[in-house]
Structure 1
Amino acid sequence: MEALTPQLVVTLVGCAIAVVTDLRTGKIFNNLTLPMMALGLAINASIGAWWIGVYGLLAATAVHYTLWRLGVQKGGDAKLLMGVGALMGWSFMLEASAYYAVLYLPVGLTVLWLRGKLPQLVQWLKFTADRARGLPVVEPAEPTILITGPIIGTAALLAAVL
């Protein structure tokens, strides 16, 4: 279990705010994620461990910016995890990302099933793969947006307590 540090408090409060805003609006806003990144860098630098924030932010950017560019993840989700990385460091961010991936699959499949859109998953996977390879693509019909703030918040909490 992680010690209750200022970085962890900001991480958990930031994720809680992201859960609420994502559920209400379907968005995780820059006015939450960018200050999380800045606070992570500042707090870690102030305790003489600047590299924790820098490496955490760089690792999160490498993973989640790439997922955003591939269309796998929304921008707010990626920036929230960049904030987590800047605050908590690369290993915590990767652990939270692993929990996020593990939780995302069953939640996402359940949401698709409940909405009757599970058959469209194959079409979306082909679209994403073709776009990632730079091939011409036709937008899939009716994309299903999954609100992932609660999944990311749960993943960060799991990384903190397990």
Structure 2
Amino acid sequence: MNAKTNDTTAALLLDNQLCFALYSANLALNKLYRQLLAPLNLTYPQYLVMLVLWERDDVTVSEIGERLFLDSATLTPLLKRLESAGLINRHRSRKDERQVVVTLSDAGRALQQQAVGVPHAVGCAAQCDTDTMLALKQQLELLRQQLHHA
């Protein structure tokens, strides 16, 4: 084997792939979130929707979709399940009947207090201090932004 062949082979090793590192970390993270969110009766995607609403209530479906990088075909069933669970309400916008507005119910607001320990539990499980977690998050956001514009 020559050096070029070795470089090519190394470039295609699974353990050398950024995509696999992200994928396998995501699998582990989803498993952890599944355990942490089970007592709240939330799935991870539902948790993300609730995070958006806890940050800013009374938003349109399209705003939630933009924030979470989800299309309406994916988001609508999530919202229906959250509404069936009594955590959110959906109604047509008074300003624009084409838009559906999502608001937290009282139960949805109350759930925020139960969820407050989730981020800390993730940090503990990852054995990362706050600065390390913040730096990793910033690097991942930069990667997402660069790939989005690629």
More helix by share: 1
TM over 0.5: no
Larger proportion of strand: 2
- Normalising by structure 1, we get a TM-score of 0.29
**Larger CA Rg, structure 1 vs 2:** 2
Higher RCO structure (Cα 8 Å, ≥6 apart): 1
If the length of structure 2 is used for normalisation, what is the TM-score?
Answer: 0.31
